[in-house]
């Protein structure tokens, strides 16, 4: 049972799977480059999110967007600022190209520390703002995020912000905090989204950025106007996914929430505390070095997430179906008992 990579256990919805099958059924079409359809995916995403097609860049998952933003906005004199821990992609790219990386500790609730980030961001090239944050699963409200961005404009007006909203579809309505409306107006704000999570398309590699048209042009010039980082199956899958109505995401959010809260209750019964999750995973203090817990789970057939320094007693556990989590919690009970005995 794989609970280590924050994937959707159901995979793509039926309409998406049908679109992929249909695309591959035409052998001639799948043997051709898709240059003539480069704009169709951006147009479909733009319609879905109420923006213009020139405010959308389609990438290979959200990975391509994170890499491009890091390369465009950081330099040896313009550091990347990000939380510790957060998703490591941007920090890894920054280090690779010689841009300094400034890490900011999380607050006491394991959320992004906005005041400390604001202070560290003065003169920075790019702030990586993962909301909800991976791996801690915590989220800041739209109001808190807007206040942070307003303050950053005053203190460091040339600093760009990459808002990673990979898990935004799992956030409850009360705390929904997408920055898409701001991004299309502010050239220094980029929103990264992905079809890998709620839409179950991790293996198809399709994501997108929404930003000001001038910022999208910069990304296109860097990445190449003619390049298509995704193939025909991903194209057809994405076109089918964006045509699904809001009820699909609502059902997926409800399914995930039920399985997640069942799992949280189990850990509470074991006196293990999880952060306030707004995602399809939990971040739990198992009170032992995470490698011990990982090994104990793996020996019982369940894979959980890797260590995230410096929170080395915390396990990131992806949420499967309710049935899978019922099986998994029995394994977790045995693993917790095993690490207690080992200790």
Stretch (H or E) spanning 342 = helix 322-342
Q: Is the pTM of this model over 0.85?
A: yes
Q: Which two tokens stand for residue 228?
A: 């298509």
Over range 228-241, report the average pLDDT.
Answer: 86
Radius of gyration from C-alpha coordinates of the chain:
20
- In angstroms, rounded to a whole number, what is the distance separating the alpha carbons of residues 175 and 205? 27
- Number of helices followed by number of strands (H, E) in the chain: 13, 12
Percent of residues, the chain, with pLDDT higher than 90: 85
- Report the pLDDT value the prediction gives residue 285, as an integer from 0 to 100: 96
- The residues with which 274 forms a beta bridge, in sequence order, are 284
Contacts of 57 (CB under 8 A, 6+ apart): 42, 65, 208, 209, 211, 216, 219, 220, 223
**pLDDT tens-digit series, residues 302-326:** 999 999 999 999 999 999 999 999 9
**pLDDT tens-digit series, residues 101-151:** 999 999 999 999 999 999 999 999 999 999 999 999 999 999 999 999 999
- In angstroms, rounded to a whole number, what is the distance separating the alpha carbons of residues 259 and 71? 38
Q: Which residue has the tokens 């699909």?
A: 248
> Which pLDDT band holds residue 27 (cuts at 50, 70, 90)?
confident
């Amino acid at each position: 049972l794989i609970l280590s990579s924050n994937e959707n256990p159901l995979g793509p919805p039926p309409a998406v799977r049908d679109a992929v099958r249909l695309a591959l059924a035409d052998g001639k079409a799948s043997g051709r480059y898709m240059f003539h359809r480069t704009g169709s995916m951006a147009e479909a995403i733009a319609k879905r999110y109420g923006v213009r097609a020139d405010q959308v860049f389609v990438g290979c998952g959200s990975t391509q967007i994170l890499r491009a933003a890091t390369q465009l906005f950081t330099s040896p004199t313009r550091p990347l600022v990000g939380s510790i821990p957060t998703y490591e992609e941007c920090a890894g790219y920054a280090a690779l190209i010689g841009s300094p990386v400034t890490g900011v500790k999380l607050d006491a609730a394991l959320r992004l520390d906005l005041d400390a980030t604001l202070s560290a961001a003065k003169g920075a090239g790019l702030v990586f703002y993962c909301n909800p944050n991976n791996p801690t699963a915590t989220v800041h409200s739209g109001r808190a995020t807007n206040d942070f961005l307003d303050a950053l404009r005053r203190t460091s007006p040339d600093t760009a912000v990459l808002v990673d909203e990979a898990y935004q579809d799992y956030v409850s309505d009360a705390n929904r905090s997408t920055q898409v409306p701001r991004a299309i107006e502010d050239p220094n704000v980029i929103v990264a989204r992905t079809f890998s999570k709620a839409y179950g398309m991790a293996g198809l590699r399709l994501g997108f950025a929404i930003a000001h048209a001038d910022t999208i042009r910069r990304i296109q010039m860097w990445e190449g106007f003619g390049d298509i980082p995704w193939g025909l199956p991903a194209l057809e899958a994405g076109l089918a996914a964006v045509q699904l109505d809001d009820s699909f995401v609502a059902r997926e959010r409800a399914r995930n929430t039920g399985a997640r809260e069942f799992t949280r209750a189990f850990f509470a019964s074991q006196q293990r505390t999880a952060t306030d999750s707004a995602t399809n995973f939990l971040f739990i203090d198992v009170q032992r070095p995470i490698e011990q817990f990982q090994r104990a789970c793996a020996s019982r057939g369940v894979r959980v997430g890797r260590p995230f320094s410096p929170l080395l007693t915390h396990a990131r556990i992806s949420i499967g179906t309710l049935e899978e989590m019922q099986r998994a919690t029995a394994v977790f009970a045995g693993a917790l008992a095993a690490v207690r005995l080992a200790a």
